[in-house]
């Protein structure tokens, strides 16, 4: 009962947060001109350390301001880090560190084994975006409308891309988490646009305009970038040029992030459906209907799809047929993307608890009570224990 009451209050806070995000995405300026091609300086990146983590930790953030490192065997707290305010961002592990953004405008790099702070980088607004780390560089968006590239080892700034393009009257945030492929960074903006940026220099390569603000995170596979928009569509764009390959219309906004596996793209919509689409054509293969809107992103493990829903349920779905069942029910909404290992599914809930669930039976192996809702998606210290294919918004990607 206490979990439900606390979850209700915090769930209202999540609803207010979504309304505030939508409120800043009204009228905006015409398309910006893409900078002309030319040489650009390439900032020097520190060679990152080679670190192999052996600690059996799962990391998750909470709206109680903490990032927790929990023992995967029993849920005991091994360490916790307190930010100045709530943590919405999902953590990512690399080079012996765990990186996470906070609503206190900061991105933190913490020692993954001890929780000791290595460095802090402050942006101009809340960091809902989950960081992506590739080749010693860390990429993250901020609600100040800026995409940042940082040296992952030192936290020093490499370059920035300001998506407001000098418009002082209004700033459109970057809630979306960046995807990186073949030297390009892709990210969606609350100004309705998808951006492609050179990962080494920060030079804008192209931008594509949708008809609604974007909270969905892109995923880049092969020659295509997939991303959802509040205009109710999932877009497939050619990664090199930004030209539209196809678009699929649902009946409601898409805030969830897509995932691609075995030639199929999976994405949830606020129309209550999880869609499985042919990745090449956008043709519907099947749809699975839940009891309310879907905010979390699916995870594909072999021939199974795991999906958390705002109807409080964690579902397991046959990837070939779309037939599925409820594996577990929490006490309140599930906004976070789950994490799957050989025998366990980890997921946080707006009932303020973090759950370790048996993959076969749905039995709760253990749960951990935080002091706030959990929108953050978990990640393991031992990355080789993670199974499945993940969306960009998850640190398990």
What is the tally of structural domains in the chain? Answer: 1
First-to-last C-alpha distance (Å) of the chain = 34
In a domain, 317, yes or no: yes
Predicted local confidence at residue 368, as pLDDT: 98
Q: What is the mean pLDDT of the chain?
A: 92
Instruction: Give me the pLDDT at residue 21, please.
Output: 55
Q: Quote the pTM value.
A: 0.91
pLDDT at 40: 78
Would you say 83 and 106 are in contact if contact means Cβ atoms under 8 Å apart?
yes
Specify if 147 maps to a domain: yes
Facing residues of 100 across strands? 108
397 occurs within a structural domain: no
- Whether 206 and 186 have beta carbons less than 8 Å apart is answered as no
Closest CA to 133 of 73, 79, 90: 90
> What CA–CA distance (Å, rounded) separates 190 from 177?
12
| Rounded distance between C-alpha atoms, residue 306 and residue 276, angstroms | 13
Report the alpha-carbon angle 370-106-149, nearest 5.
125
For 271-301, how does the pLDDT look when each residue is reduced to its tens digit (9 = 90+)?
999 999 999 999 999 999 999 999 999 999 9
Q: Look at residue 391 and tell me if it is in a domain.
A: no
Q: Where in the sequence is the domain holding 346, given as residue range(s)?
A: 2-385
Residue 394 lies in a domain: no
Backbone angles phi, psi at 95, to 5 degrees: 55, 35
Q: Which pLDDT score is estimated for 170?
A: 59
Give the CATH number for residue 262. 2.130.10.10
pLDDT score of 220 = 98
Q: Residue 182 phi/psi, 5° resolution?
A: 50, 45
Distance CA 92, CA 188 (A): 19
To the nearest 10°, the Cα dihedral for 324, 329, 333, 336? Answer: -70
The answer to the question of residue 392 being in a domain is: no
In a domain, 148, yes or no: yes
- Model pLDDT, residue 150: 98
SS (H, E, C) the chain: CHHHHHHHHHHHHHHHHHHHHHHCCCCCCCCCCCCCCCCCCCCCCCCCCCCCCCCCEEEEECCCCEEEEEECCCCCEEEEEECCCCCCCCCEEECCEEEEECCCCEEEEEECCCCCEEEEEECCCCCCCCCEEECCEEEEECCCCEEEEEECCCCCEEEEEECCCCCCCCCCCCCCCCEEECCEEEEECCCCEEEEEECCCCCEEEEEECCCCCCCCCEEECCEEEEECCCCEEEEEECCCCCEEEEEECCCCCCCCCEEECCEEEEECCCCEEEEEECCCCCEEEEEECCCCCCCCCEEECCEEEEECCCCEEEEEECCCCCEEEEEECCCCCCCCCEECCCEEEEECCCCEEEEEECCCCCEEEEEECCCCCCCCCEECCHHHCCCECCCCCCCC
Any domain includes 152: yes
Could you list the pLDDT tens digit for every one of the 397 residues in the chain?
Answer: 333 334 455 555 565 555 555 544 444 443 333 555 567 789 999 999 999 999 999 999 999 999 999 999 999 999 999 999 999 999 999 999 999 999 999 999 999 999 999 999 999 999 999 999 999 999 999 999 999 999 999 999 999 999 875 444 456 899 999 999 999 999 999 999 999 999 999 999 999 999 999 999 999 999 999 999 999 999 999 999 999 999 999 999 999 999 999 999 999 999 999 999 999 999 999 999 999 999 999 999 999 999 999 999 999 999 999 999 999 999 999 999 999 999 999 999 999 999 999 999 999 999 999 999 999 999 999 999 999 999 999 999 8
């Amino acid at each position: 009962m206490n979990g439900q009451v606390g979850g209700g209050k915090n769930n209202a806070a999540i609803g207010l947060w979504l309304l505030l995000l939508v409120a800043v995405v009204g009228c905006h300026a015409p398309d910006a001109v893409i900078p002309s091609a030319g040489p650009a300086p390439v900032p020097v990146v520190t060679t990152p350390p080679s670190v192999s983590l052996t600690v059996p930790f799962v990391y998750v953030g909470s709206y109680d301001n903490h990032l927790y490192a929990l023992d995967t065997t029993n849920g005991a707290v091994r360490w916790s880090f307190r930010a100045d305010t709530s943590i919405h961002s999902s953590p990512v592990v690399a080079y012996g560190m765990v990186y996470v953004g906070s609503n206190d405008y900061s991105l933190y790099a913490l020692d993954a084994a001890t929780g000791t702070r290595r460095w802090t980088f402050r942006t101009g607004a809340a960091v809902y975006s989950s960081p992506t780390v590739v080749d010693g560089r860390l990429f993250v968006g901020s609600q100040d409308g800026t995409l940042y590239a940082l040296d992952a080892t030192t936290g020093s700034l490499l370059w920035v891309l300001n998506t407001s393009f000098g418009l002082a009257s209004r700033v459109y945030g970057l809630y979306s988490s960046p995807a990186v492929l073949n030297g390009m960074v892709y990210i969606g903006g609350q100004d309705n646009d998808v951006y492609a940026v050179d990962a080494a220099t920060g030079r804008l390569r192209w931008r594509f305009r949708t008809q609604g603000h974007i909270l969905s995170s892109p995923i880049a596979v092969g020659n295509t970038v997939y991303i959802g928009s509040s205009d109710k569509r999932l877009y497939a764009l050619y990664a090199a040029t930004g030209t539209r390959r196809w678009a699929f219309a649902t009946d409601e906004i898409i805030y969830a992030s897509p995932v691609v596996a075995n030639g199929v793209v999976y994405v949830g919509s606020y129309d209550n459906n999880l869609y499985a689409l042919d990745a090449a054509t956008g043709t519907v293969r099947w749809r699975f209907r839940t009891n309310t809107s879907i905010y979390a992103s699916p995870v594909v493990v072999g021939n199974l799809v795991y999906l958390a829903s705002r109807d409080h349920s964690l579902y397991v779905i046959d990837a070939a047929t779309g037939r599925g069942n409820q594996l577990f029910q929490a006490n309140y909404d599930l906004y976070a993307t789950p994490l799957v290992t050989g025998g366990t599914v980890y997921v946080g809930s707006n009932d303020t608890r973090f759950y370790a669930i048996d993959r076969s039976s749905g039995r709760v192996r253990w749960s951990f009570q935080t002091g706030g809702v959990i929108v953050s998606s978990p990640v393991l210290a031992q990355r080789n224990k993670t199974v499945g294919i993940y969306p960009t918004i998850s640190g398990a990607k």
